[in-house]
Structure 1
Amino acid sequence: MKENPLTPSPFLSRRRMLGAALATGALAAVPGIADAALPRHAAAADYPGPGLVTGDVRVHDPSFVKRPGGGYLVAHTAHGVGLKTSTDRTAFSNAGVVFPSGAPWTTPYTGGDRNLWAPHLSYADGRYHLYYSASTFGSNRSAIFLATSTSGNSGTWNNEGLVVESFTSDDFNAIDPHLQVDAQGRWWLAFGSFWSGLKMVRIDPATGKRHDGTLYSIAGRGGDAIEAPTIFYRGGRYYLFVSFDTCCQGAASTYRIMVGRSSSITGPYVDRNGTAMLAGGGTEVLSGHGSIHGPGHQDVFADTDSDILAYHYYDDNGTALLGLNWLGWDSSGWPYVH
């Protein structure tokens, strides 16, 4: 792993089996250097390590939001949906769970398991919005729910109810939500895992629920492993980050982060080579390297020092940990980690 004097600025998505096991841990890796001249297809050995993070960094499927009063709130897969906080994007602390008394409305989808998956956090109109998944491993009898809170603190979240669900008769899976507002101010929810691929629905900002019944397809691999959509708007383009291959197998996990882009939020998304993401396309952004196994279920957000790629990965003993890297953009407008 390359060493580099830079560390992340102080301003600075499987989920199923880890909720009860997440506990305090630490990681101290120094990021590597990359610049705008980075080769178009960097080898895995060239990827930098995660930036320095400390404290409670055992996490699965992290989602970040910058708090209006300063600092960061992170939601992640756990019993009742886990929460962490950080003032500087380096040191992280346990902040309890969204639903400390449980979420019994999810039982039809979880079979009674309290583990709730792959949340996505955002903040708008004075409230935190949390979309989260309820399912069981390998099933597409799944649902995405919404909760809101004015503070984001544990136990203050209101259940706003069901947003999207899938049935065993469907060819999609309603998990792994990501809310994105487009350049015209319209709200969209991307989601999906395996089956026929990733989907999108329009959201009514007044309710946080579906605007209509239209279901858009945005990426797929012909039934192969793809999940965890993340959409990021930059320079007039929408970038669709996804996770290919498998997670939740500890150090044997093969998750890797891929990307495509489009001028429209509903697609079509294509990779650097022009291959449609609906036809299995995707340009690799980060894959396993050294002691970093199966990086994936990413989140991307803009910060004061850089755009940031957040993700989980597994160390050599199979522990799921938080990874953070700066996200740069080459001269052709494609992202790379550094």
Structure 2
Amino acid sequence: MGHLRRGGACSAVLGLLLAATASAPALAAPKQPYDNPVSAAFADTFADPVIVRGHDGLWYAYGTTDPLHEGEQRFHGVPMARSADLVRWSYVGDAFAAGQRPPYAAEGAGFWAPDVRWVDGRWVMYVTVTDTTVSPDGGDFAVGAATAPTPTGPWTFADEPVVAPRPGGGGGWLWTIDPSQFTDVDGTPYLYYGSYYGGVSVTELSADGLRAVGQPALVAIDNKFEGSYVLRRDGWYYLFASAANCCAGPATGYSVHVGRSRSPRGPFVDRDGLSLTASRAGGTPVLTQNGNRWIGVGHNGFLTDLSGQDWIVYHGIDRADPYLDEPFGINERPMLIDRLDWVDGWPVVNAGAGPSDGDRPAPITTGRVDERFHDATLDGWQRDGDWRVTDGRLRGTGTLTSRATIGGDVRTEVDLRPDTARSAGVDLGDRVGVRVDTATGRLVARDGRRTASAPLPATFVPGHRHHLAVEVRGDRLVAELSPARLGDQLATVALRLDRPTTGRLTLVAEGGVVEFDNASLARLHQPVRRTVPTPRAGRLLPEFSDEFAGVLGADWRWVRPDPAATASDGALRWPVQPGDLTGTGNTAGVLLRDAPTGDYVVETRVTLDLGEETVRNYQQAGLVAYVDDDRFARLTQVAIWNTRQVEYGYELPFAGQPVYGGNIVGAPATTTWLRLAHRVDPATGEHEFRAGSSRDGRTWTWGGVWTFPADTTPRIGLVAHGGATPAVTAEFDYLRFYR
């Protein structure tokens, strides 16, 4: 959620970045492209969004409690929107009326970061309750739940919180916010929750999803992550989490990281094998700003379109219009969606290109078959058995075959309720079929005599609605059964096919009555196999570089000289100063030199022993792109409370005062390599600086982009500041420029 931030120094603001300026590979364009933000038609701001597909085949979005429009000044209790195609949305009301709250909520409590799921045969909304009756001092967050028969309500709060306020060991209350539910393949429901003060935890839930049970486990360290979301893919559990301050206006650097595990309880590690609970916490970048209009892109949800393509839903800030009304008020955070690709087992947005701005191919929400069963005549289907359509749902036994033919790579989906049937499912032609077999308790795929199966969870209830998706790509079939198509499969089965599938789509009910709805058949999406290129260091520019073999030369210029900084024998040694650059203090020294014109990469290697686990606010050292004391981008390894991070901080003047925010790049080591890749935007002339970090000088993690106006001339330099206790010296081995 990120409405609050622990700690008092601007340099504590966190962030994560992943961006590229190249265009990403795309799907074949449907008839109508889309453009972010997708919430523009009904809201100026729609923060912390999630999307589900309702049983009516439409899509529903939910946002945090805020005014929807400029000048409105009225807070909406979890606003809801509806769409038929995921890109054209309309407001359909608020989940909670004015004054509606659970018994444990204090008067005036807000509801943040909703997460909506299909649990135990009904819709459940998990939501942050910002103020409870536990403490008169406030800050006593809780996770609440409300249930409803439809995605738009009516919503009824449970009388007790799912997770009650938790006292913090250092005082106050742990940030029990940003809930996200997940159901595992064994049927166990989990809830992820938490934020910077207290970290992200997971707990098991009762079968109805309304009570935390068992012992919670920490899955992501405090002071770095919040806004978690977990999904399962290919046997891995992926924990998405956002980092940095969500709401620093034009300097917001909120972004999304990921780690994965073989268990929903962790441990989660990033692509480099670094744990998300370590002091030098890992986290592989998924989504971050790329230099276009969108900054502060984070707090994500997840969805899959009818072609099988995954999408990420999130909020962002237009850097030209960062506030809803007056400056430094509510941050304006509309809803965006973008393609989520999987490359070598890791998720990334638009193949690494980051948030989109401009026309993009839209999600696939219709197909060769797109049946909601509103027509009782069942035109276009061939019946064999007893079938009836009532209230937009198909019920019957036997087979129902579509006239649409199957060929090539396809994905078919259907909502089903096996009810009294022995088995229910789909056939793709006369040879290939998938069944939810309630008699044996298994999900079964067959190709002639060949079969593969997986167990259904012991908690499986045939009388509850479930979602079945079947994909055929080449000679491989994969079938998934889930509560509501949100990446939390109850069973997955894969089968190698003997030959390509041909024929027609058939719905099958055996040994009893089955209820079907939302049957679709669409061409399967084409996955992205490679990410867009990242910056590379080319030819060394020795005339701009310095190996620190002797005293500093005439090319260096000081802002607030520090005589303690000395250069000799291949290193610049600089005791970390007690000053800072953020805000109006501007007490820290900056060592600068002119940069080459045009595009370039600048690199340094800095050793700074900040220890681990202990609080060392906010000692740091690294690179800076500097115009003046109120306009700079600072890339440093830094101690932030108990964590050690690579922060890419940014300050600019806005509405008469300096504003600071930050991003996080990769995890630091004691010796960390840092890069800034400079590019001049050919359309605007803006200076774009993208940040990269490495723990070994070979494998780089690339973060996001901060920009400077075209009429500025940023210089490049070094900094070492943030606190003199305990004494520590930063050692820079070189400053190198590459073309």
Tell me, yes or no, whether TM beats 0.5.
yes
Which residue is 1:34 aligned to? none
Once the two structures are TM-superposed, the CA of residue 43 in structure 1 deviates from its matched residue by: 3.9
What is the Cα deviation at residue 208 of structure 1?
2.3
TM-score (norm 2): 0.38
Tell me what 2:216 maps to. Answer: 215
Asked if the contact 1:102–1:114 (Cα under 8 Å) also holds between the matched residues in 2, the reply is no
Q: Is the 8 A contact 2:102 2:157 kept in 1?
A: no
CA distance in 1, matches of 2:22, 2:110: 36
Matching of residue 90 in structure 1 with residue 87 in structure 2: yes
Distance 1:139 1:226 in 2: 22
Q: Is the 8 A contact 1:120 1:131 kept in 2?
A: yes
Q: How big is the shift at 1:68?
A: 1.4
- Residues 91-130 of structure 1: per-residue CA shift (max 9 Å, x gap): 111111111143343774xx53343100101123442110
AA aligned opposite 1:335 = P
The alignment of Structure 1 onto Structure 2 pairs a total of residues equal to 294
CA distance in 2, matches of 1:314, 1:215: 33
Equivalents in 2 of 1:283, 1:228: separation in Å?
A: 15
Contact conserved, 2:189 with 2:209, CA < 8 A, in 1?
A: no
CA, structure 1 residues 43+76, in 2 after alignment: closer, same or farther (shift >3 Å)?
closer
Distance 2:50 2:337 in 1: 12
Distance in 2 (CA, whole Å) between partners of 1:179 and 1:227 is: 14
Stretch deviating more after TM superposition (41-50 or 80-89): 41-50
Q: Does the Cα contact within 8 Å between 1:130 and 1:147 map onto a contact in 2?
A: yes
Deviation at 1:141, TM superposition (A): 1.4
Cα distance in 2 for residues equivalent to 1:269 and 1:186: 19
Residues 75 and 82 in structure 1, CA contact (< 8 A), matched pair in contact too: yes
- Note if contact 2:259-2:276 (Cα within 8 Å) is conserved in structure 1: yes
1:115 aligned to 2:110? yes
| Mapped partners of 2:79, 2:203: distance in 1 | 26
- Aligned pair 1:233/2:226, yes or no? no
Structure 2: how far apart are the matches of 1:99 and 1:107? Answer: 15
How many Å separate the matches in 1 of 2:138 and 2:293? 31
Q: List per-residue Cα deviations over 1:260-297 (Å, max 9, x = no partner).
A: 10110000100000000111110001112221110011
2-structure distance, mates of 1:165, 1:208: 12
Offset, 1:302: 2.5
Distance in 2, Cα, partners of 1:170 & 1:46: 46
Find the partner of 2:122 among 105, 110, 127.
Answer: 127
Structure 2 stretches lacking a partner, 5+ long: 5-16, 25-33, 66-75, 132-136, 323-331, 351-739
Distance 2:53 2:271 in 1: 30
| Aligned partner of residue 131 in structure 1, secondary structure | strand
CA contact (8 A) 1:15 1:60 kept: no
The aligned runs of 1:59-208 (5 Å cut-off) are 59-78=46-65, 79-105=76-102, 108=105, 112-135=107-130, 140-154=139-153, 156-161=154-159, 162-170=161-169, 172-208=174-210
Alpha-carbon distance between aligned partners in 1 of 2:107 and 2:21, rounded to the nearest angstrom: 42
Where in structure 1 are there 5+ consecutive unaligned residues? Answer: 1-12, 17-40
TM-score, scaled relative to structure 1: 0.80
Among 338, 351, 355, the alignment partner of 1:325 is 338
Higher gyration radius (CA):
2
Q: Secondary structure at the match of 1:299?
A: strand
Give how far 1:51 is off. 5.0
Identity %: 29
Aligned partner of 2:312 in structure 1 is 309
SS in structure 2 at match of 1:251 = helix
Q: What's the offset of the Cα at 1:325?
A: 0.7
For the 8 Å contact 1:232–1:301, the answer to whether it is kept is no
CA displacement at 1:46 relative to structure 2 = 4.4
The residue number in structure 1 matching 2:469 is none
Shift of 1:81: 1.6
Range 111-120 or range 127-136, more displaced? 111-120
Q: Give, as a single letter, the amino acid of the residue that structure 2 aligns with 1:157.
A: W
In structure 2, the CA distance between the partners of 1:259 and 1:46, relative to structure 1 (3 Å rule), is farther
Whole-angstrom CA distance in 1 between matches of 2:98 and 2:198: 35
Instruction: Give 1 or 2: higher strand fraction.
Output: 2
Cα deviation, residue 73, structure 1: 1.1
Q: Which has the higher contact order (CA 8 A, sep 6+)?
A: 1
Tell me: CA distance 1:183–1:51, structure 2 relative to 1, closer, same or farther (3 Å): farther
Q: CA deviation at 1:236?
A: 0.6
Query: Quick check: 2:125–2:145 contact (8 Å CA) kept in 1?
Result: yes
Deviation of 1:251 (Å): 2.5
The answer to whether the 8 A contact 1:80-1:102 is kept is no
Q: Does 113-122 or 87-96 show the bigger shift? A: 113-122
Matched residue SS, 1:174: coil
Secondary structure of 1:95's aligned partner? strand
1:211 is displaced (CA, Å) by 2.6
After superposition, the C-alpha distances for 1:189-246 in whole angstroms (9 at most, x for unaligned) are 000110231001101123521233x1110011xx423100100111111100000111
Look up the match of 2:536: none
Stretch moving more, 158-167 or 45-54: 45-54
CA deviation after TM superposition for structure 1 residue 14, in Å: 4.2
RMSD: 2.4
Contact 1:237–1:262 under 8 Å retained in 2: yes
CA distance in 1, matches of 2:270, 2:178: 21
Task: Give a deviation string over 1:7-28, Cα, whole Å, max 9, x none.
Answer: xxxxxx4468xxxxxxxxxxxx
Amino acid at match of 1:283: T
- Alpha-carbon distance in structure 2 between the residues aligned to 1:312 and 1:181: 25
Q: Which amino acid in 2 is paired with 1:117?
A: W
Residue 35 (structure 1) aligns with: none
Q: Distance in 2 between matches of 1:206 and 1:198?
A: 22
Q: Secondary structure at the match of 1:167?
A: coil
Cα gap change, 1:166/1:314 in structure 2, threshold over 3 Å: closer, same or farther?
A: same
Cα distance in 1, alignment partners of residues 119 and 336 from structure 2: 26
Cα-to-partner distance string for 1:287-310 (whole Å, 9 max, x where unaligned): 122211100110122232311100
Tell me the equivalent position of 1:36: none
2:288 equivalent in structure 1 = 287
Paired letter, 1:226: F
User: Could you tell me which residue of structure 2 aligns to residue 7 of structure 1?
Assistant: none
| Rounded Cα–Cα distance in structure 1 between residues aligned with 2:101 and 2:249 | 29
Return closer, same or farther for 1:193/1:218 CA change in 2, 3 Å cut-off. Answer: same
